[in-house]
């Protein structure tokens, strides 16, 4: 099969399109013929060696990156009970050695869910990592309640486009922070208010929110606090080192909760998102599609930091 592999850390230039052996599923695994995969900032972090403490200190332990997959079940191991050959599935395989930038991957059935029938493979591949991150950030870390005011910083990217829609589905009143030419999109996804970050700084407007969900990490902890109500929550998908110390202190002293979050892929949340996709409450916004031989270009484009929704790689 064809796969995009890397054997050393570096820029996107270390990626090579290679012909390698097609995997065979173990007893509890499903072999998926991948139709589409998405690129994520985490793929660029993986390539650069930023994750080397888990991905291999000197060189990558697993040679095929790619976490989000959508495709059809080609074969199942003898202990697999939840899927049959031919089922359309999607999932985040980052906890199982990755391998999404390939024609086939064998993964435990626990990583997968049936694809919503009303969306394409490309749309399904856009969902797992970013939408689960948005869901867990808003619901589990941010404790978003119906009727609350939530601001989403970076509302036009992979995580942000899902966050706007999920916040709305959970009953929040959404303010989206975007650049001028993405205001219309944010409104069409369900934002009631927008802040154009090229004109205005949301931490300086005097407006305060029950929840600030941040996917950019471009403001200090002190600045973000100004945008929080007295018992408000701040959740960032990026990493603000000062929060490690200031977060617990602020919580103890003033009652505001401010955290760096790390999403945990799981099938229950994927099924929750599947129901939102089936009812049309959430849709995948796709910016561009690349081919498998164009994964380096897809990752470079994502790294520029201006994607409008998700960047997809179509495989079969
Ligand atoms: N912690 C976790 O578990 C987890 C999981 C997934 C992702 N992440 C992280 O979350 C972050 C976002 O991921 P992503 O997939 O959403 O990235 P992305 O798709 O690359 O985000 C790009 C978007 O950010 C917007 N943006 C850039 N600068 C901005 C600013 N100053 N203010 C507001 N919006 C701005 C861009 O809009 P313009 O083009 O208009 O500038 C663009 O639409 C990344 O750091 C990623 O590593 C963490």
pLDDT tens-digit map of 60-94 = 999 999 999 999 999 999 999 999 999 999 999 99
Domain residue ranges of the chain, discontinuous segments joined by +: 2-127+284-314, 129-260
Question: Is 215 touching ligand 1 by the criterion CB < 6 Å?
Answer: yes
Report residue 316's pLDDT band, with 50, 70 and 90 as the boundaries: confident
Instruction: Tell me how far CA of residue 207 lies from CA of 34, 150, 213, 221, 257, in angstroms.
Output: 45, 11, 15, 16, 18
Question: Is 299 touching ligand 1 by the criterion CB < 6 Å?
Answer: no
Question: Is 102 touching ligand 1 by the criterion CB < 6 Å?
Answer: no
Atom of ligand 1 nearest to the CA of 309: 19
Running DSSP on this structure, what letter comes out for residue 194?
A: E
Give the position of tokens 């994607």.
Answer: 307
Of all protein residues, the one whose alpha carbon is nearest to atom 26 of ligand 1 is 154
- pTM higher than 0.95: yes
CATH topology of domain 129-260: Rossmann fold (3.40.50)
Residues 6+ apart with CB under 8 A from 43: 65, 66, 67, 299, 302
Burial class (CB in 10 A: 0-12, 13-18, 19+), 150: buried
**Per-residue pLDDT tens digits for 93-110:** 999 999 999 999 999 999
Cα of 190 from ligand 1 centre, angstroms: 18
**Per-residue pLDDT tens digits for 212-253:** 999 999 999 999 999 999 999 999 999 999 999 999 999 989
In degrees and rounded to multiples of 5, residue 153 shows phi and psi of -90, 120
Coil, helix or strand at residue 129: helix
Name the CATH architecture for the domain at 2-127+284-314.
Alpha-Beta Complex (3.90)
Q: Do domains 2-127+284-314 and 129-260 have the same CATH topology?
A: no
Of all protein residues, the one whose alpha carbon is nearest to atom 20 of ligand 1 is 305
């Amino acid at each position: 099969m064809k796969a995009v592999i890397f054997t050393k850390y570096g820029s996107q230039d270390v990626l090579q399109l290679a012909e390698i052996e097609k995997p065979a599923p173990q007893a509890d695994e499903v072999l998926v013929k991948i139709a589409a995969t998405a690129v994520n900032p985490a793929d660029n972090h993986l390539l650069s060696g930023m994750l080397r403490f888990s991905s291999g200190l000197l060189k990558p332990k697993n040679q095929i990156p790619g976490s989000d997959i959508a495709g059809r079940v080609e074969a199942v191991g003898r202990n697999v009970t939840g899927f049959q050959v031919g089922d359309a599935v999607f999932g985040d395989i980052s906890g199982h050695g990755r391998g999404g930038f390939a024609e086939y991957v064998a993964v435990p059935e626990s990583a997968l869910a049936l694809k919503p029938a009303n969306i394409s493979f490309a749309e399904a591949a856009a969902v797992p990592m970013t939408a689960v991150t948005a869901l867990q950030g808003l619901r589990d870390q941010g404790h978003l309640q119906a009727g609350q005011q939530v601001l989403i910083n970076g509302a036009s990217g992979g995580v942000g486009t899902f966050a706007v829609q999920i916040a709305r589905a959970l009953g929040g009143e959404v303010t989206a922070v975007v650049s001028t030419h993405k205001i219309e999109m944010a409104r069409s996804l369900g934002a009631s208010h927008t802040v154009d970050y090229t004109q205005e700084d949301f931490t300086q407007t005097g407006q305060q929110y029950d929840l600030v969900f941040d996917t950019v990490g471009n403001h200090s902890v002190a600045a973000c606090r100004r945008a929080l109500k007295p018992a408000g929550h701040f959740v960032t998908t990026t990493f603000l080192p000062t929060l490690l110390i200031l977060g617990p202190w602020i919580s103890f002293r003033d009652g505001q909760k401010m955290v760096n979050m790390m999403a945990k892929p799981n099938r229950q949340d994927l099924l929750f998102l599947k129901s939102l996709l089936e009812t049309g409450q959430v849709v995948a916004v796709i910016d561009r599609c690349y081919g498998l031989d164009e994964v380096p270009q897809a990752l470079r484009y994502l790294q520029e930091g201006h994607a409008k929704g998700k960047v997809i790689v179509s495989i079969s």
